[in-house]
């Protein structure tokens, strides 16, 4: 058994003298590190990505479009915030926070990065220190895997080490604001760990802080993202129903939302991001293991995952009809999973592009925030991207796209009629698109509803 070293961690937190290390300097780890440094702590930001640490050490960040982050780095770097990839720098940490990804694989959740980070934390933490996990944990992981790992290293939770789970609840594009103002949920198996974690988060969080058991905290995080996935799926289901019935989902949504208890979301080509594409499955798998199959979660996830393929198939049919059975050139505008967010992780644009490529089309991709093309040809200028295109697909709702001069865009195509504009995020007024010289199609509209001046035999799958 390890020898207990008596040290007043509570006092160190209150006095801002606690030495904090954050493992993982990505979308959550970096802004959390900066917020704690701003609160007065010295924070070591650790990541195994050497290039990332070199960038941060020079004051550069890949999250420069996130409001407030560049300013925080500029003011805190080298004093309160120190990036490092040397584990030795972390030795003797009073608090270690883990913020690494928890991806999925074909067999279920992939916990390797979390376990590796935990092993690192256990090597560098001082006795009587606090370890906090912010990485998403599938239900039961804390008690079945995290706790035994800690005990295996000779620690006694609540005695010579403290341990808690506090899942992040922030949306890319609003990270600083949400990390500060959102309600936080802390899960712990002992009161002392819970109270110390709450004391730390109160130094930079303005939202309420709720204390629960670890399993509840695990499930709450997954339920939040599953709720969003299911609601998006319902909007997409309505869009598919409208396509089948030959009516416009735009009008259906407008009228349905006039009901005081209805808030139908905007349908689109699918769901992306690192959370919504896996968290519902984590909850589904955990429930399935315990004897209940949550059918709605699975149906919603499958439907959202199918949307990019569905609309790639429609666009393939339209282009082939225009080209007398031949493939064509398609300009895909947008690559990130969400508008105005430079994040292409798990973007639905990837299967959309890859399916069009598989069907034989030439695909040119433009995005103002990232250079990802998913196997297509990346083009750095929107007007160059659309030149020679038989169809233009808007698949991300960037602000830049919303205010485009559509007539100028049509002239840049330099192709005779017909040229199709596919609105995969319902960001345009159909009448304005048609007045600019395009044939307008979108999600949630059958081809008969579009009144396309092309052959009637187009099959909508």
The CA distance from 284 to 302, in Å, is 12
- The residue among 445 and 134 whose pLDDT is bigger is 134
- 407-431 b/e with 16+ CB inside 10 Å = b? eebbebbebeebbbbbbbbbbbebe
Confidence of residue 449 (pLDDT cuts 50, 70, 90): very low
Q: Among 61-70, 204-213, 286-295, 305-314, which is the least confidently predicted range?
A: 61-70
- Output the pTM of the full model: 0.91
Could you tell me where in the chain the CATH 3.40.50.720 domains are found? 9-212, 222-461
Q: Does 273 score more than 50 pLDDT?
A: yes
Q: In angstroms, what is the C-alpha Rg of the chain?
A: 25
pLDDT digits (tens, 9 = 90+) for 13-63: 999 999 999 999 999 999 999 999 999 999 999 999 999 999 999 999 988
- 54-71 b/e with 16+ CB inside 10 Å = b? eebeeeebbbeebebbee
Confidence of residue 446 (pLDDT cuts 50, 70, 90): low
- Among residues 39, 320, 374, the alpha carbon closest in space to that of 200 is found at 39
Q: Does 456 score more than 60 pLDDT?
A: no
- The residue among 146 and 273 whose pLDDT is bigger is 146
Apex CA 244: angle with CA 293 and CA 308, to 5°? 60
pLDDT, residue 452, reads 52
Q: Among 47-51, 169-173, 277-281, 384-388, which is the least confidently predicted range?
A: 169-173
Structure tokens at 89: 């720098």
The CA distance from 166 to 217, in Å, is 7
Catalytic residues: 221, 275
pLDDT digits (tens, 9 = 90+) for 326-336: 999 999 999 99
Q: What topology does CATH give the domain 9-212? A: Rossmann fold (3.40.50)
pLDDT, residue 2, reads 45
pLDDT digits (tens, 9 = 90+) for 205-247: 999 999 999 999 999 999 999 999 999 999 999 999 999 999 9
Question: Residue for token digits 């924070």?
Answer: 43
pLDDT, residue 287, reads 96
Chain centroid to Cα 96, Å, comes to 24
pLDDT, residue 426, reads 95
- Give CATH for domain 222-461: 3.40.50.720
pLDDT, residue 65, reads 84
The CA distance from 450 to 461, in Å, is 16
**Alpha helix stretches (DSSP H) within 29-163:** 29-38, 50-57, 69-76, 112-124, 141, 147-152
């Amino acid at each position: 058994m390890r020898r207990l070293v008596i040290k007043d961690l509570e006092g160190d937190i209150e006095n801002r003298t606690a030495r904090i290390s954050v493992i993982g300097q990505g979308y959550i780890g970096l802004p959390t590190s900066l917020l704690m440094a701003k609160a007065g702590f010295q924070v070591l930001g650790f990541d195994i990505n050497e290039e990332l640490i070199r960038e941060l050490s020079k004051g550069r960040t890949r999250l420069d479009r996130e409001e407030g982050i560049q300013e925080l780095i500029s003011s805190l770097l080298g004093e309160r915030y120190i990036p490092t990839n040397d584990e030795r720098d972390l030795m003797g940490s009073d608090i270690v926070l883990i913020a690494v990804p928890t991806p999925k694989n074909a067999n279920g959740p992939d916990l390797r990065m979390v376990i590796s980070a935990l092993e690192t934390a256990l090597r560098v933490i001082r006795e009587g220190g606090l370890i906090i996990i912010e990485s998403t944990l599938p239900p039961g992981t804390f008690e079945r895997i995290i706790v035994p790992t800690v005990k295996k290293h000779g620690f006694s939770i609540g005695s010579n080490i403290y341990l808690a789970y506090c899942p992040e609840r922030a949306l890319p594009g609003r990270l600083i604001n949400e990390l500060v103002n959102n309600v936080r949920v802390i899960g712990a198996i002992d009161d002392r760990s819970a109270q110390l974690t709450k004391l730390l988060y109160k130094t930079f969080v303005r939202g309420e802080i709720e204390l629960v058991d670890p399993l509840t905290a695990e499930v709450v995080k997954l339920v939040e993202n599953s709720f969003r996935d299911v609601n998006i799926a319902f909007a997409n289901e309505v869009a598919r129903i409208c396509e089948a019935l030959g009516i416009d989902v735009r009008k259906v949504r407008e009228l349905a939302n006039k009901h005081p208890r209805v808030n139908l979301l905007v349908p689109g080509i699918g769901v992306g991001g690192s959370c919504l594409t896996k968290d519902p499955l984590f909850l589904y798998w955990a429930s399935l293991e315990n004897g209940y199959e949550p059918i709605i979660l699975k149906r919603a996830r499958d439907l959202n995952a199918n949307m990019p393929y569905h609309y790639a198939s429609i666009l393939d049919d339209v282009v082939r009809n225009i080209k007398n059975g031949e493939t064509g050139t398609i300009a895909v505008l947008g690559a990130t999973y969400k508008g105005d967010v430079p994040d292409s992780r798990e973007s639905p644009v990837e299967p959309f592009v890859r399916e069009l490529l598989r069907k034989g089309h030439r695909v040119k991709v433009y995005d103002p925030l990232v250079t990802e093309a998913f196997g297509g040809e990346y083009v750095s200028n929107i007007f160059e991207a659309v030149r020679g295109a038989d169809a233009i697909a808007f698949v991300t709702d960037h602000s830049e796209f919303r205010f485009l001069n559509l007539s100028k865009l049509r002239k840049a195509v330099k192709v005779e009629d017909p040229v199709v504009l596919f609105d995969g995020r319902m960001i345009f007024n159909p009448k304005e698109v048609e007045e600019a010289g395009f044939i307008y199609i979108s999600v949630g509209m059958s081809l008969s509803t579009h009144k396309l001046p092309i052959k009637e035999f187009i099959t909508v799958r």
